[in-house]
Amino acid sequence: MAIHTQESFTGFIASDPQLSHTGKGEARFYARVGQEHYRKEPDGSFTELDTTFHDLVAYRATAERAHERFAKGDSFVAEGYTHPYEYERDGQTVQGEEFVAKKIGHDLARTSYEVDRSQRNTRTAEQEAPAAAASREAVRNDDPRRIRESAAPGPGL
């Protein structure tokens, strides 16, 4: 099966996050976000370029969680897509775009935090393939099968 990928966006929350609701009653998170840019120089150093600012939105449960967890200044990594749109300002049609975050979290390269695993979803363990569980059990028990299994190439290798 192919790896599923989407656009990603990294930056920092530049405004106070806002939570509102759409006409359908769905939660909508909005924040103005900044993205720093750098140019690598021939000598290996980096030159800081102008920071750009963009609109970031999220909907439904992601919006509610983002509003609870993010504050102005936080660094983030988001997965989603760029949504172009048009609006009118002073009688003129203006082109705009926003990043729609389907998933968003703090950038752990720039954020210190602790993980609370007390609410961990147990579905993953229940759906685990029996062969993978047996393989791990063999390693734990120092079973000779471990050598045969580790020598066999995995799918796609």
Residue 52: is its pLDDT beyond 70?
yes
Tell me the pLDDT tens digit for each residue of 68-101.
999 999 999 999 999 999 999 999 999 999 999 9
Q: In angstroms, what CA-CA distances link 153 with 61, 150, 157?
A: 40, 7, 6
**Where in the sequence is the domain holding 84, given as residue range(s)?**
7-113
pLDDT digits (tens, 9 = 90+) for 107-147: 999 999 888 899 887 665 555 555 555 554 544 444 444 44
Q: Are residues 19 and 37 in the same domain?
A: yes
Q: Is residue 41 part of a domain?
A: yes
Q: How many domains does the chain have?
A: 2
| 59 & 136 share domain | no
Average pLDDT, the chain: 85
Q: Are 143 and 93 within one domain?
A: no
pTM of the model: 0.72
* Residues 107 and 127 placed together within one structural domain of the fold: no
pLDDT number for residue 11: 98
- Residue 30 pLDDT exceeds 50: yes
Answer yes or no: do 63 and 104 share one domain: yes
- Please indicate, yes or no, whether residues 23 and 67 belong to a single structural domain of this protein: yes
Query: For the chain, how big is the Rg over CA atoms in Å?
Result: 22
Q: Does residue 1 sit within a domain?
A: no
Strand partners, 16: none
2 found inside a domain: no
* Mean per-residue pLDDT, 59-69: 98
Pair 88, 139 in one domain: no
